Structure 1
Amino acid sequence: MDVETQTVVIGLTGPGGGTVCGEACGLVPVTGEARLSSVIVTVPTVEGLVVPSAALVTDASGQVSVIVEDGERVPVTVVTSARGMSVIEGASEGVRVRVPAVDGAAG
């Protein structure tokens, strides 16, 4: 963001990485300015312990856990997830988790 002008410049892509104008690109002027309707969704930055989402296991009651090296289930709360990673609360920093989360008692 340019603090002086209060301007934010962003790059836009359409669904699937295509063009923003989709099938109507011929209607967008090639000179001057074009204003296109858009929706901008912002989310707050989240900090915390990050684990691969594949390390999470959910039991029949809905409790989410990670399974640590010795096979113990440690209950956690998922704060947010994106791109195969999840921010969690409830496990200690530095804990080694099983990926994929395989319970030694199962199977």
Structure 2
Amino acid sequence: MPVTVDEIRELASTLPWSYEVFVHGRIKFRVGQIVWLAFSKDGSTMGCGFPKEFRQAAVDAEPEKFSLPSETDMRFNWIHVHLEALDGDEMRDLVEGAWSRCVPQYLAREYAVAQGYL
């Protein structure tokens, strides 16, 4: 079953140091000034932090789920995800992964331990 923007917001808002902002009609999540998660205005797509080196492989493997960011955003560790093709477990992996890339390693590790991932 596809996930909703509200489900993603619920998870993202629980992550340490993460906070929600509304910028130019779009919901975004930040850690400090780093945007690590954002939604399209219509809520159909989520952009999130993602390793550049795996981005093209993800798009090639699942083009119904993933797409590349705009040309100007290709310099960032970023990918677009179509929510209609995303389930809850995948969403959790992507959201927690994106968040963990922009916080100090000790904080990501503490969170992983608390969640029982490590």
Larger helix fraction of residues? 2
Largest Rg, 1 or 2: 1
Higher relative contact order (CA 8 A, sep 6+): 2
* TM-score computed with the length of structure 1 as normaliser: 0.24
TM-score (norm 2): 0.23
